[in-house]
Every structure is written in structure tokens, then in C-alpha cells.
Amino acid sequence: MHPTTKALWATIGGDTVPTRAEVERAIKKLYRFGLGTRFDGTIKFSRGDTWSYQHGEDPDIFVGTRCSWSDVVMMMSRIVACIYYREQALPGEGKLDKMELKLVREVIKRGWMGGKLADIVVTRTPEQAAIERYEAKVKALNKRLAAWQAKHKRAANAMRKINAQLKRTHYNHAKRKAKP
């Protein structure tokens, strides 16, 4: 671990243990942040504070239930660095430290250690959900309609200008023909 990373963890308390939901969300978000693509694998929990990663078409990440925030970020930095630098073994320490520092700063910037990734309890009835979906659909359709109306106005304006040019062209052509 890089000295800067150690100092950051010391100031924010990286030894706290996140919940399972926080770990799942953090893994997915750190994967996307580090690689720019969605994590399509599965996250499985095991006992203890160990972790492992299985490569392949359907990758698996095994995380110990007692892993601290610093363990989760270190694990993700190693996984992301291996994939990012396309190396089977761990990349050089410099690359690994840079990736870990980058992910630690992201965790701090997003405030995930303060509970922002905790379970969000949503209490809405199916009727409310249906109404929200309906309102979202109407909003999207109105947006599409406005875009097409704007295109229609631009097209009408362009056709008016082209017709005016055609009239001028015909007029000028007829004028030239009339001259002896």
C-alpha cells in the first residue's frame, strides 16, 4: 500500500466494515469507475476477511463478510488494475498504487464511507409506481414531440428558402432568355 493511501485511510477510518449492500454497490461502482464498463459478474460473500476474483465470461468476486473499506478498495484496485493493464499477474507496484490511490480518492469524494451506499428503503405502493411510470412516459413522449416539432419548423423554413431560391433562379433565367 502506498504511503499516501495509508495516510488517507488513517484520516478517514478505513478499518470500518461496510454492510453487504454497501460492498455490492461499491464493487459495481468502483469497477465502472476504473474500467468504464458495467460489472456483469456475480458478487458472492464468504466468511472471514478474505477475497478472490475469478476471470471469465461471467466473472465472480468472492468477498469476506468482515472485509473493511480499505480491504474492499484494495481488492478492487487489484482486480481493476489487472484488467485495465491486461496482465494475468499483478501489475507493477507503481501501477497498482496509482490505481488504489485513484479508487480511494473516488470513495472519499463520493462520501461512501458516510453511508451513502447504504440500503435505501423505498415505501411506495404499486399504484404510486404505476403513476410514476406513466408520468415519466408522458414526459419522455412530450420531449420527443417537441424535438420533432422543432425539426418540422426547421424543415418548413428550409423549404420556404429553397422555394424562394427556385423562384429567383427561374426569374433570372427567364430574364436572361428575354434579352436579345
7 and 78 in a single domain? The answer is yes
* Residue 134 confidence (pLDDT): 94
Choice between 15 and 132, residue whose per-residue pLDDT is larger: 132
Mean of the per-residue pLDDT values for the chain? Answer: 81
Could you tell me which residues come within 8 angstroms of residue 80 by beta carbon, excluding any fewer than 6 positions away? 30, 31, 34, 35, 99, 103
11 and 46 in a single domain? The answer is yes
176 and 104 in a single domain? The answer is no
* Residue 104 confidence (pLDDT): 81
pLDDT, tens digit (0-9, with 9 covering 90-100), for 4-25: 777 777 777 666 777 788 888 8
Helices (H), 13-125: 20-35, 69-84, 93-110
86 and 43 in a single domain? The answer is yes
* Residue 97 confidence (pLDDT): 78
Residue 15 domain boundaries: 3-114
38 and 104 in a single domain? The answer is yes
108 and 159 in a single domain? The answer is no
65 and 29 in a single domain? The answer is yes
129 and 104 in a single domain? The answer is no
136 and 79 in a single domain? The answer is no
Q: What percentage of the chain reaches a pLDDT higher than 90?
A: 22
Cβ-contact 67, 14 below 8 angstroms: no
For 159, phi then psi, to 5°, come to -65, -40
Choice between 59 and 92, residue whose per-residue pLDDT is larger: 59
Entry pTM:
0.58
Mean pLDDT along residues 166-176 = 90
138 and 59 in a single domain? The answer is no
Choose the final residue of a domain: 83, 114, 145: 114
Choice between 64 and 9, residue whose per-residue pLDDT is larger: 64
Number of domains in the chain: 2
Choice between 146 and 65, residue whose per-residue pLDDT is larger: 146
What is the pLDDT confidence band of residue 150, given thresholds at 50, 70 and 90?
A: very high
pLDDT over 90 at 75, yes or no: no
